[in-house]
Structure 1
Amino acid sequence: MKTIHELVKDWGGFEKLVAALHETGDVTVEHNAHLVGRSGATRQIDVLLRHKQGLYEHLVVVECKYWNAAVERLHVDALATTVKEVGAAKGVIFSTKGFQSGAVTQAAHDNIELFTVRELTDEEWGLPGKVVNLFLQVNAVSVGNPQLLGTFSFSGFEPRNPSLNIIIGNPDSDSRTPMFKEGDPERTLEEYLSRIARESAAKFYPSRPVAFRNGSHDGKLLLRGKVSVAPKAPIRIEVNGGIIMVPRVEFDVGLVVNQSRIVIDRSSSYLFAFAVEDCVRDRAAYVTKKSSEAVTVIEPIAVPDSMNSDDVVKNGSLISVWVKGFESFDQFAGLSYGQLVEA
């Protein structure tokens, strides 16, 4: 969709735009019409609207002012004279630069309508505005190389085999090692390490939009980090008929960041979408026409007074989503710790 000044290059273009604004299907619209007045003189009308209702026809005379300054009072007087001359029911002036206060006062007296055509504000489109420009990052975590350090057992509670094969990241073959750690809700070592891995990954990578080397904002990042956990009291693990106490756990965390840029132009389906301000009655309306529709739609603008821009996502913001499952750690094998690379 083009802006007003992209659509309109001169006064003739503005007249055609104003004519299109009235193509609602309720009236007949004529551009550059000519009417013979009561004095016998021919009057040129920028846009003439004919509204037929039963046996009667009502004429509305529209003048279009594509100027660099506000419309003055004398132009309202001139239109009021034209309305009387041609026997019209109403006179209207459209402007892109508004109206002087004297023109508004005179228009209210002469029953002339005054409208300013302007672009819709971000609030009128609905924040964050006509174009929505956001970043989406879908983050997935991986756990690799878990090591239980400094383990010991109490006499009489030694397991038959103290070795463990901890697997995290494959729902079909994940291990489940019973664990007790005071103050934590997890009941298996794998659940505990999974939570720590997610918390650590969020600290390793402060979420922010990324520009990739090729200039795109769509791509994939990999990050590998090292985690060491030493709780105040050792973790108690039940394994192979015995109990192992674990003072410290170390493991690697891999983070996959898939970033996409989301750009939505909310005006893309419209031929035009403008605000038309009624300068006499101090109200405004949406005037829109979609590419797929034959008629123009006019609806009142009602922006909630309670709208708070602080509560709305701003353009350029990042939406970060964390995937519930885990990635395979194989893709991180060749990375150095703390190294953020494009995949």
Structure 2
Amino acid sequence: MSNGFLHKLFDWKNFELFVKDFYSAEGDVLVEHDVTEIGKSGASRQIDVKVTQKTTLHTYTTIIECKYWKKAIERTTVDVVAASIEDLNASKGVIFTTKGYQQGAEAYAKSKNIDIFVVRDLLDKDWGSPGRNMQLYLNIVGGQMSKAHFPNAQALLIVEEKPDDMNLEISLSQENLDDEAFLLYSVKNGDAGPNLTKILSKIHNTITQNINSIVGQKNEFLDHELLVKSDVKVSFSDFDFRQLRNKFAAINLSEMTLNFVTHISRSELNIDRAGSLDYALIVQNYVSEQAHYVSRKSDSEEILVSAYKNETSTPDGASDVFVNGSTVNCFLGPWVGVDINANTRIGESSPMRLRVMEAENSLGFNIVPADG
């Protein structure tokens, strides 16, 4: 069964109308279908498609022969077009077919300056990797942290009256990633450093990517929602910027513990890249091999024409070429909550330990064994 459009859309008449519409897409030209004219010889000449372009000083006429045949075009067909050009004083002759040309016809057309074209379906290589039909998996990955504690934190009071408590309440949102109340300072020299909310945001990203790399590729979770619960310890011991300040005290942090839930929704997507099209074809010059994509959307009368680019090789430096069966990961921000429904499957990961690191002036994390 064909995966293309040519056999579905065209008989000989519709093939002629396709060629007519193809030329009409050029714009400022008069394109006529099934025209009969009397030549200089007095003979009646039938023209499948006639294209007329007028300028201030000249009229340029192209006559086009369309052959929706099951065999290659012979020289005799080219001879008929050549005779029509001469008899009708046409400027140019063109032939369109779907099956190619015999060698003699090709050589004769070149000698008479007649352009010959083949209209064909797109091959997989023409659609570009991975072809017309795409099959991929989509992972939507989110996470939620809760019950954050800072054990062994040391508060250095800067006021005489000791406050009843100094609990930290942090709510991550797109708006508070620069909240000055959570700015961290160096325990060595007091310099200002990164914001604790940004560290939490990066921790969120690190954990969700880590859990997704472990279980996100498993198709046993396909069309289910997976929740993975993790107990996480974050060490600040190797990080200079671990001091919070408020109106009561300077608070030196050593570690943080939190509960984390990673949410993964895995689904399969099958996409026909031509599903919204009436047709998608290639019009190729049989001699020069110059080609164009020609397509039309189902909800439009507009024909789209673009130059064909043969991109069969992998660009230099490209390491991840998309192939069918690939997984596309979409990671949600830390401010997006986690929902649980009837199809949710719940599991638990091993305890996780992260160390906050400063490397080349950028903040990072090192995941180590939970007992490390």
Q: For 1:103 and 1:203, locate their aligned partners in 2 and report how far apart those are by CA, in whole Å.
A: 63
- CA deviations on 1:43-66 (whole Å, 9 max, x unpaired) are 443333445556976553322222
* 2:70 aligns with one of 68, 71, 74: 68
The offset of 1:122, in angstroms, is 7.5
- Cα 1:101/1:319, change in 2 over 3 Å: farther
For residue 261 of structure 2, the aligned residue among 254, 258, 283 is 254
Partner of 2:24: 23
Q: CA deviation at 1:37?
A: 4.9
Give 1:293 deviation, angstroms: 7.7
Contact 2:141–2:208 (Cα < 8 Å) also in 1: no
Cα distance change of structure 1 residues 227 and 91 upon mapping to structure 2, 3 Å threshold: same
CA deviations on 1:261-296 (whole Å, 9 max, x unpaired) are: 79695884x765543222234423455567788776
AA paired with 2:110? A
Match of 1:314 in 2: 322
RMSD: 5.3
1:226 equivalent among 231, 236, 239: 231
Q: Secondary structure at the match of 1:83?
A: helix
CA distance in 1, matches of 2:183, 2:311: 55
Alpha-carbon deviations, 1:120-170, whole Å to 9, x = none? 578877877778887776654322123445x3879x99x968976343335
Change (3 A) 1:100 1:311: farther
CA gap 1:110/1:55 in 2 versus in 1, 3 angstroms = same
Question: Structure 1 residue 249: deviation in Å?
Answer: 3.9
Give 2:112's aligned residue: 110
Give 1:131-150 correspondences, 5 Å limit: 139-149=141-151
Instruction: Sort the Cα spacing of 1:241 and 1:303 in 2 relative to 1 into closer, same or farther, 3 A.
Output: same
Closer, same or farther: CA 170–294 of 1 in aligned 2, 3 Å? closer
Change (3 A) 1:208 1:14: farther
CA distance in 2, matches of 1:85, 1:330: 77
Distance in 2 between residues matched to 1:82 and 1:91, nearest whole Å: 8
Unmatched 5+ stretches in structure 1: none
Tell me if structure 2 keeps the 8 A contact 1:273–1:288.
yes
> C-alpha separation between the residues in 2 aligned to 1:296 and 1:244?
67
1:201–1:253 CA contact under 8 A, matched in 2: no
Q: 1:91 to 1:144 in 2, by over 3 A?
A: same
Deviations 1:189-226 (A, max 9, x none): 666555434322321122858989896xxx96544222
The alignment partner of 2:24 has SS state of coil
Shift of 1:319: 4.9
- Local SS of the residue matching 1:22: helix
What's the counterpart of residue 204 of structure 1? 211
Shift of 1:255: 3.0
Q: Is the 8 A contact 1:22 1:296 kept in 2?
A: no
Provide the C-alpha distance between the structure 2 equivalents of 1:228 and 1:90, rounded to a whole number of angstroms: 78
Match of 1:326 in 2: 335
CA distance in 2, matches of 1:237, 1:102: 86
The letter for the 1-side match of 2:92 is K
Task: State the one-letter code of the partner of 2:322.
Answer: K
In 1, the alpha carbon distance for the partners of 2:221 and 2:154 equals: 52
C-alpha separation in 2, matches of 1:119 and 1:212 = 38
Q: Map of 1:69-108 to 2, 5 A cutoff? A: 69-108=71-110
Structure 2 residue runs without a partner (length 5+):
351-372
> Distance between the aligned counterparts of 1:38 and 1:233, measured in 2?
95
**Does structure 2 conserve the Cα–Cα contact (< 8 Å) formed by 1:136 and 1:318?**
yes
Provide the C-alpha distance between the structure 2 equivalents of 1:187 and 1:162, rounded to a whole number of angstroms: 28
Q: What is the aligned length?
A: 326
Inter-partner Cα distance in structure 2 for 1:61 and 1:243: 86
Matched residue, 2:48: 46
Report the residue type matching 2:291 in the other structure.
A
Distance 1:54 1:190, change over 3 A: closer
Q: Mark the CA change 1:100 to 1:192 in structure 2 (over 3 Å): closer, same or farther.
A: same
SS of the aligned residue for 1:199 comes to helix
Selected match of 1:337 from 325, 348, 354: 348
Aligned counterpart, 1:284: 291
Q: TM-score, normalised on structure 1?
A: 0.65
Say if 1:213 and 1:233 are closer, same or farther in 2 by CA, change over 3 A.
closer
C-alpha contact 2:128 2:311 (8 A) present in aligned 1: no
